[in-house]
Structure 1
Amino acid sequence: MSIRKYLKFDPGEETGETLLQWWKGLEGNRGERATLRRCRNLTEVAFVPSFHRLYRDLSKCAVVDAERLALVAGLAAHVRSIDPGAEIAVQMGQGKPGSGSAVVSGLRFRRLLKIQDREELFLAMIRIIALLGGGLNLLSLVKGAYEWNEWTRKKWAFDYYSTAPSEV
């Protein structure tokens, strides 16, 4: 009997690599990606076949929460390019080119941290992905979204405010 692990989405780890392969597969299947991008809630994401492929692939190596994974799949479809450099909250706090303000304003970031509901988080993060230009640390995004809890919000706050001192 094997011990089932939980999804981590860490770089170099099996579940993280599975997600990255799935995301790369969306590039070759623009119709499925477009369908995911049009989803306005997590129920709609659950109706898309590519979500179920991801669910099946990840279920082979870890315990999967379907609602949390729908959030991950829906958000990942909005990511246009991967920038593995900094954590997602650091990327939110970085300055806009030619401006001293953060890419994601302090007010928007504080509102994000107050969100408890996954449906609300889905819509808020779609807007933030757009503000970041679609290029971000995908594994950091999905790890935070999948685990969305008090610990994640604290970590994101420390990361954001260490980068965006003008927002303090």
Structure 2
Amino acid sequence: MSDRFSRDNAYGTILLNWWQKLEDDRASRAILRRASTVTAVALSAPYQRLYRRFQAAGWNANSVSAHDDRLAAIVGLLAHVTQDQPGSPAKAMSHKAPGEDRPLVSELRFTRLLESPDVDSLFAGLRRVLPIMEHRVDVIALADDILFWGDDRKKRWAYAYDWPARSAD
């Protein structure tokens, strides 16, 4: 099985079920929300318990890899998500609040996310963005984008974001 997330595979199912049960597991949610770095998430008991479930399903069965840090980032960020809202995370960032003419996540802040060179900086940026988005994002889409963060995903986000028009446009 390839290491990716979808609503139709074991990894996506494990992640979505865990996230749904997190609502009732306030202690684990609190521990993960307080984790301010990917390393802090990876060292936490709630993450390690979930990580064992992924391993049992075949996740990186041969060795510890960069995917493990990305999984830790995903878990740490999903602890901040309260509503699974279908669609592209980038599209959700560009939604406008009722009565507003600006996107929830400003063009500058979004550009800084796109410039994230690694999972640690992406994690830090998204921790600041999720409250602006009222903690709503597509759980599986965000997880898959973080897992495969790189030039391809950055381009997908750039195309999905509804860039505000300027008067000179």
Structure-1 separation of matches of 2:68 and 2:5: 15
Structure-1 separation of matches of 2:84 and 2:128: 17
Aligned to 1:47: 43
Q: Is residue 2:4 matched to residue 1:8?
A: yes
Q: CA RMSD in A?
A: 1.5
The 8 Å contact of residues 102 and 164 in structure 2, kept in 1 or not, is answered as no
Q: Is residue 2:58 matched to residue 1:83?
A: no
Please report how far the alpha carbon of residue 147 of structure 1 lies from its aligned counterpart in structure 2 after TM superposition: 1.1
Instruction: Report how many residues are paired.
Output: 161
Please report how far the alpha carbon of residue 130 of structure 1 lies from its aligned counterpart in structure 2 after TM superposition: 0.8
Please report how far the alpha carbon of residue 80 of structure 1 lies from its aligned counterpart in structure 2 after TM superposition: 1.0
Structure 2: where are the runs of 5+ without partners? 61-66
Please report how far the alpha carbon of residue 155 of structure 1 lies from its aligned counterpart in structure 2 after TM superposition: 0.4
Structure-1 separation of matches of 2:113 and 2:102: 17
Give the % identical residues.
Answer: 33
The 8 Å contact of residues 15 and 61 in structure 1, kept in 2 or not, is answered as yes
TM-score (norm 2): 0.89
Deviates more, 1:42-51 or 1:29-38: 42-51
5 Å-filtered alignment, 1:1-168, equals 5-64=1-60, 65-84=67-86, 86-160=87-161, 163-166=162-165
Write the letter of the residue equivalent to 1:83: Q
The 8 Å contact of residues 42 and 72 in structure 2, kept in 1 or not, is answered as yes
The 8 Å contact of residues 94 and 164 in structure 1, kept in 2 or not, is answered as no
After the TM superposition, which parts of structure 1 deviate over 4 Å for at least 4 consecutive aligned residues? none
Please report how far the alpha carbon of residue 62 of structure 1 lies from its aligned counterpart in structure 2 after TM superposition: 3.7
Structure-2 separation of matches of 1:77 and 1:9: 17
TM-score (norm 1): 0.89
Structure-1 separation of matches of 2:100 and 2:58: 43
Please report how far the alpha carbon of residue 59 of structure 1 lies from its aligned counterpart in structure 2 after TM superposition: 1.8
Structure-2 separation of matches of 1:42 and 1:87: 23
Please report how far the alpha carbon of residue 82 of structure 1 lies from its aligned counterpart in structure 2 after TM superposition: 1.0
Write the letter of the residue equivalent to 2:35: C
Secondary structure of the corresponding residue to residue 129 of structure 1: helix
Please report how far the alpha carbon of residue 52 of structure 1 lies from its aligned counterpart in structure 2 after TM superposition: 1.3
